[in-house]
């Protein structure tokens, strides 16, 4: 079992920002990307936090990601738009698209944006929560490299295509659902591999479609991820891919290149889809929030199984984790911290110059 080290979140943001700046990412874009990664770690979504920095930097250095963002609006028609990210960092294009969908929803009651030619955008909840801040319902999804097989198949031909909803509440915390269409994300399996830990049964299959507990087999040995609810997860993943790619005439399905494939000259060309819904266009926001609070209360006060202390609402654990990590520091494994240190050093950024440790 790996030992974790507590790291100050604000100093970590500065450190990660400077690493991205060192490879020609504009300061504004480096800040957006750093904030997104640290927010994921603060919320306990460590699979989408700073552990991703080394692979992002490798892809920039190898010319697989464009550090200089140039995002074009190729179609803009009232409540909808299509953006071409021109291979910039996913967090940068996603942040612009979510902001644009919110602005459109403010004017037209709903806003929907498709992004093409982008890259891995991190944790989806970071974008949907931006809608909540404006008293809107947010939705975000993305396609990803193929890691799952369709029901009845044995070829990896569909990604785990994560998605998020965020819904504002009144006195209660917002409802935030952020999940992939596989039982776990690739990032969680990578973390297990770094820590030398076995996978729980039910996370992954080997190349023959048999359950495996070996992380290497799952992600590098021809294995695949297990979809949530079998055919249900496969079906949701397919729909998310269509929203993220087909709707904007972007590539999708088996043509999306893996974030971790460095032995190629092919860009990722990831597609995203974002939507914001202005609640106040349907009913007064105060009434909506009251109803959401009542629904949350009803669920949390419902009968619990023996041994269960409380029922959690989607996103509640992450809010609690963020509060703890802001106070005590983000727990980062020695393996991830070592990877960060080496990556930064190769970029001329030295971790000892930052007061990271609590």
pLDDT at residue 210 in the model: 85
Residues 51, 120, single domain; the answer is no
Residues 84, 199, single domain; the answer is no
Tell me the pLDDT tens digit for each residue of 242-252: 999 999 888 88
Output the DSSP codes for 264-328: -S----EEEEEEEEEGGGTS-HHHHHHHHHHHHHHHHTS---TT---PPPTTHHHHHHHHHHHHH
Residues 160, 90, single domain; the answer is yes
Q: How many residues does the chain have?
A: 358
| Burial (0-12, 13-18, 19+ Cβ within 10 Å), 166 | buried
Residues 56, 80, single domain; the answer is no
SS3 84: strand
CB 162 within 8 A of CB 237: no
pLDDT at 132 over 70: yes
Give the CA distances from residue 271 to residues 187, 232, 248, in Å, rounded to whole numbers and listed in that order. Answer: 19, 22, 8
pLDDT at 212 over 60: yes
pLDDT at 25 over 70: yes
pLDDT category of residue 343 using cuts at 50, 70 and 90: very high
Tell me the pLDDT tens digit for each residue of 287-315: 999 999 999 999 999 999 999 999 999 99
Over residues 100-117, the mean pLDDT reads: 98
Any domain includes 323: no
Residues 164, 262, single domain; the answer is yes
pLDDT at 358 over 80: no
Task: Give the range of the structural domain holding residue 304, as residue numbers without chain letter.
Answer: 69-182+227-316
Over residues 39-55, the mean pLDDT reads: 96
Residues 79, 54, single domain; the answer is no
pLDDT at residue 253 in the model: 76
Over residues 258-277, the mean pLDDT reads: 91
pLDDT at residue 2 in the model: 65
pLDDT at residue 1 in the model: 52
- Report how many domains make up the chain: 3
- Please give the helix or strand (H or E) that residue 333 lies within, else none: strand 330-333
- Please give the helix or strand (H or E) that residue 159 lies within, else none: strand 158-159
Give the CA distances from residue 198 to residues 49, 184, 191, 204, 213, in Å, rounded to whole numbers and listed in that order. Answer: 21, 14, 11, 11, 5
């Amino acid at each position: 079992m790996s030992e974790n080290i507590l790291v100050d979140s604000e100093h970590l943001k500065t450190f990660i920002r400077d690493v991205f700046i060192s490879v020609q990412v504009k300061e504004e874009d480096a800040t957006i990307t750093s904030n997104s990664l640290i927010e994921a770690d603060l919320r306990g979504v460590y699979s989408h936090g700073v552990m991703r920095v080394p692979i992002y930097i490798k892809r920039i250095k190898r010319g697989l990601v464009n550090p200089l963002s140039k995002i074009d609006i190729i179609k803009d028609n009232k409540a909808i738009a299509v953006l071409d990210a021109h291979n910039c960092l996913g967090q940068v294009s996603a942040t612009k698209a979510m902001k644009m969908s919110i602005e459109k929803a403010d004017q037209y009651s709903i806003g929907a944006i498709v992004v093409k030619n982008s890259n891995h955008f991190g944790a989806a909840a970071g974008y949907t929560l931006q809608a909540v801040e404006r008293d809107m319902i947010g939705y975000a999804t993305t396609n990803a490299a193929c890691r799952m097989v369709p029901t009845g198949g044995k070829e990896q031909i569909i990604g785990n295509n994560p998605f998020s909803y965020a819904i504002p509440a009144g006195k209660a915390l917002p409802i935030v659902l952020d999940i992939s269409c596989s039982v776990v994300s690739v990032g969680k399996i990578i973390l297990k591999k770094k820590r030398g830990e076995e996978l729980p049964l039910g996370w992954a299959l080997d190349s023959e479609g048999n359950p495996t507990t070996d992380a290497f087999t799952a992600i590098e040995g021809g294995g695949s991820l297990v979809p949530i609810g079998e055919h249900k997860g496969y079906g949701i993943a397919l729909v998310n891919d269509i929203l993220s790619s087909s709707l904007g005439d972007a590539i999708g399905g088996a043509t999306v290149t893996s974030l971790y494939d460095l032995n190629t000259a092919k860009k990722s060309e990831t597609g995203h889809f974002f939507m914001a819904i202005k609640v106040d266009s349907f009913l007064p926001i105060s009434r909506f929030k009251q109803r959401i609070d009542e629904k949350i209360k009803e669920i949390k006060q419902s009968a619990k199984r023996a041994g269960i202390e409380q029922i959690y609402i989607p996103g509640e654990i992450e809010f609690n984790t963020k509060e703890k990590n802001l106070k005590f520091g983000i727990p980062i494994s020695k393996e991830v911290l070592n990877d960060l240190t080496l990556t930064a050093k190769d970029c001329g950024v030295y971790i000892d110059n930052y007061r990271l440790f609590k």
